[in-house]
Amino acid sequence: MNYVWDLFMSQDPPKPPTTFAEPWRVVPWRDKKKDFDYVTAYEPHPEAECLRVLLYGPPGTGKSSFINSVDSALRGRISTRASAASGYDQSFTTKYRSYKIQRETPGTFYSLVFSDIMGIEKVSGRGVDVENIKLIMRGHVHDGCKLFPGGTPTGSDYRESPTIKDKAHVLVCVISAATLNLMDAEFVRRIKEVRQEAEAAGIPQIVVLTKIDEACPEVKKSIRNVYMSKHLKTQMEQLSVTVGFPMNCVFPVQNYSEQTETDEDTDTLILNAMRKIIDYGQDFLIDNIPPTEPKNRYSE
Ligand SMILES: Nc1nc2c(ncn2[C@@H]2O[C@H](COP(=O)(O)OP(=O)(O)OP(=O)(O)O)[C@@H](O)[C@H]2O)c(=O)[nH]1
Ligand SMILES: [Mg+2]
């Protein structure tokens, strides 16, 4: 009797499950082709020329890696064009630079432009400051400009009268799920400031939540657990509450960082996020480019 009791007491209480029984959001695993075709076929209004996606966020969260990951998912091989590095407290990217993704035929490109900037840093005097993000968002900064905190672009770096093709059409805040709990209040304040400015300019906003593999062992085991993981859902809810992004604007991805080959499931999440980015950006273009007058057939 004592033996049975001792045995019972020596056992740890059962741990609550770390995953849901059913995913809380539907992902078209094994059907990435739909999103792939959607992204590859996308053509914005000719006045916009391309859909301009501006990425921002704290340093080292995976902004440059996300550009490389979309490039990799579209081209079917790992790309490392946007410089990514393993620095975490200081921004590795130091310029405002735009990237296009090449189609199979050399010299032809997808209708997407990614603008990569250095991270927002919590220490003033480093990284990109919020004033400069506002200028980039409104199309005042020329590509290739080196941004100095506290200073604004002047001369040939400054565009006096931007048109719709120079402005950001969708703003993507890149946050790491692995360090979300450690995110400083100062980061949150700066991100909120950018959000308010984007809201005032009517620019749609999305969050790409990276490093989900580092944040959750279940996801590391299989990326298909992304919407089964209780931990990740809590992270997303927390992000939504602290920074104010609605849950349906948050898209978790795992960037290509160590892999040497692309894979279907990683591509699926990246392309799914990309499709949403296109949809949101397209709404902005519809609202901001007046429809062309239908041709009057009697005046020809
Ligand atoms: N495991 C994992 N590592 C990632 C992921 N995304 C990015 N990384 C790694 O995180 C590090 C920083 O990534 P970057 O893409 O340089 O980050 P960034 O936001 O562009 O950084 P700055 O330009 O310095 O602001 C690199 O070592 C990447 O390989 C991810 O989803 N999972
Ligand atoms: Mg970078």
Burial class of residue 119, CB neighbours in 10 A (0-12, 13-18, 19+):
buried
- Amino acid 127: pLDDT: 67
Whole-number Å distance, alpha carbon 256 to ligand 1 midpoint, is: 9
- CA 108 to CA 74: how far, in whole Å? 14
Contacts of 42 (CB under 8 A, 6+ apart): 51, 110, 111, 112, 278, 282
How far is the centre of ligand 1, averaged over its atoms, from the C-alpha of 211 (Å)? Answer: 8
Does residue 49 have a pLDDT over 60? Answer: yes
Q: Which ligand is nearest to the CA of 174?
A: 1
**Mean per-residue pLDDT, 42-49:** 94
CB 58 within 8 A of CB 187: yes
Give the model's pLDDT for residue 299.
47
d(C-alpha 173, C-alpha 184), whole Å: 15
Q: Which positions ≥6 away from 225 have C-beta within 8 Å?
A: 19, 216, 218, 219
Residue 78 reports pLDDT greater than 90: yes
Three-state SS annotation for 202-222:
CCCEEEEEECHHHHCHHHHHC
Which residue's alpha carbon is nearest to atom 16 within ligand 1? 84
What share of the chain in percent tops pLDDT 70?
89
Give the residue among 170, 134, 149 at the shortest CA–CA distance from 282.
170
pLDDT value at residue 300: 44
Tell me the average pLDDT across 57-66. 92
Q: What whole-number percentage of the chain has pLDDT above 90?
A: 63
Q: For the residues 30-48, what does the mean pLDDT come to?
A: 91
Asked if residue 87 has its Cβ within 6 Å of ligand 1, the reply is yes
CB 187 within 8 A of CB 73: no
What does the alpha-carbon distance between residue 137 and residue 26 come to, in Å, rounded to a whole number?
32
Between 72 and 86, the higher pLDDT residue: 72
- Can you give the pLDDT at residue 171? 97
> Higher-confidence residue: 151 or 284?
284
User: Rounded CA gap, 240 and 189, in Å?
Assistant: 14
User: What is the average per-residue pLDDT within 82-111?
Assistant: 77
User: Which of 214, 257, 266 is the best mutation target for the ligand 1 pocket, counting ligand atoms within 8 Å of the beta carbon and taking the most?
Assistant: 257
For residues 270 and 32, give the distance between their C-alpha atoms in angstroms, rounded to a whole number: 10
Query: Can you tell me whether residue 15 is helix, strand or coil?
Result: coil
pLDDT, tens digit (0-9, with 9 covering 90-100), for 181-199: 888 888 899 899 999 999 9
Distance from residue 51's CA to the centre of ligand 2 (Å): 20
Domains detected in the chain: 49-287 (3.40.50.300)
Question: What's the pLDDT tens digit per position in 103-160?
Answer: 988 899 999 999 988 777 766 666 678 888 899 999 999 988 887 777 788 888 899 9
What's the full length of the chain, in residues? 300
Ligand nearest to the CA of 119: 1
Query: Ligand 1 within 6 A of 80 CB?
Result: no
Ligand 1 center to residue 160 CA distance, Å?
33
Helices (H), 11-146: 32-41, 63-75, 130-137
Q: What is the Cα–Cα distance from 34 to 84, expressed in whole angstroms? A: 29
Distance 7 CA to ligand 1 centre (A): 47
Ligand 1 atom at minimal distance to the Cα of residue 92: 24
Q: What is the pLDDT of residue 84?
A: 65
Q: Which of 125, 230, 118 is nearest to 174 (CA)?
A: 118
Report the mean per-residue pLDDT for the chain.
88
Q: Measure the CA–CA gap between 284 and 137, rounded to whole angstroms.
A: 13
87 alpha carbon – ligand 1 mean position (Å): 8
Residue 41: is its pLDDT beyond 70? Answer: yes
3-state secondary structure of 100: strand
Quickly tell me which residue has 């539907």 as its tokens: 26
Q: What pLDDT score was predicted for residue 17?
A: 76
> Does residue 132 have its Cβ closer than 6 Å to ligand 1?
no
Kindly give the number of the ligand 1 atom that is closest to the alpha carbon of 84: 16
Best residue for ligand 1 mutational test, from 65, 97, 147, 211 (most atoms within 8 Å of Cβ):
65
Decide which of 227 and 27 is more confident: 227
Atom of ligand 1 nearest to the CA of 59: 25
- 235-280 pLDDT, tens per residue? 999 999 999 999 999 999 999 998 999 999 999 999 999 999 999 9
- For 66, phi and psi rounded to 5 degrees? -65, -40
How far are the Cα atoms of 4, 10, 16, 219 from residue 7, in angstroms, in the given order? 5, 5, 21, 34
Q: pLDDT value at position 79? A: 86
Residue with the larger pLDDT of the pair 31 and 142? 142
